[in-house]
Amino acid sequence: MTHLQNIGTLQLFIGLGFIFLAQGCSILFRLGLARDLAVGAIRTFAQLFIMGYALTYIFACPVKLVSLLVFSFMVAAATHIVGSRIKTKAVRFRLPVFFSMFAPYLLVAAMVTGVIIQAKPWYDPMYLIPIGGMVVGNSMSSLAVALERLMADLRSKREMVEMRLCLGATDWEASRDLASDAIKAGMIPSINAMMGVGVVFLPGMMTGQILAGADPLASIRYQIVVMLMLAASAALSTSAAVLLVRKRCFGRAQQPLV
């Protein structure tokens, strides 16, 4: 088994050249994204270095339950990111979004660490944090897609929803098909990922393990579990979030608020 080839500081800064290339595209096509790319690159450096140092301390921490605190922080940050993508002031959705991410993600991550990897205890930071991070990071996009779709449909199909309400439908009966479409939209990326994995792309976790010198046949087993886990967490969290947020899009007389 070979050892992970370390990336030196100089090589790391050479990596910044990729950002300059992306900024070049932005300038060439007048996309106005050069500043965002710079901010994104700085945040990538800062956040990952902070996380790297934090993980070193967390893994060394004798209180293993600290992993749940870190996990809650990751979910809170994901809630904030999802919230910034959904542009509505009429509906308060952050709390339901937090809980619809927290419970399913923790359940799925705990099943993977406890039952499949058989880590002892299941909340060992060494396992729960990376696995939980993958669940939160990947499924967050599914959830954002689903909620964006729900809000967009509630706005564009408002007359259709109102028409059903006017004929005696409850808010659920009037918007059920919109909720289904939103959940479906949220689940499609993880289904597509399962279709393309190993053919179109090699996922980050597997690539990381191979670069670190692991046996490809061992790392694919991890990756298979991760792919299945992401499909489940996307399905559970998008369903929960869409159902909870949809309810909040209607007022006390079941009138549309969006």
Binding residues for another protein, rule: CB under 8 A, are 159-160, 162-170, 173, 251-256
Residue 250 CB, shortest distance to another protein, in Å, is 9
Residue 199 CB, shortest distance to another protein, in Å, is 36
Cβ atoms within 10 Å of 98's Cβ, excluding its own: 19
Token pair 């290339």 is at which residue?
A: 21
Task: Choose between 94 and 164: whose C-beta lies nearer to another protein.
Answer: 164
Residue 175 CB, shortest distance to another protein, in Å, is 13
Task: Choose between 39 and 257: whose C-beta lies nearer to another protein.
Answer: 257
Residue 171 CB, shortest distance to another protein, in Å, is 8
Task: Choose between 124 and 177: whose C-beta lies nearer to another protein.
Answer: 177
Backbone torsions φ then ψ of 201, nearest 5 degrees:
-145, 155
Exposure letters 11-23 (e unless 16+ CB within 10 A, then b): eeeeeeeebeebb
Task: Choose between 3 and 89: whose C-beta lies nearer to another protein.
Answer: 89
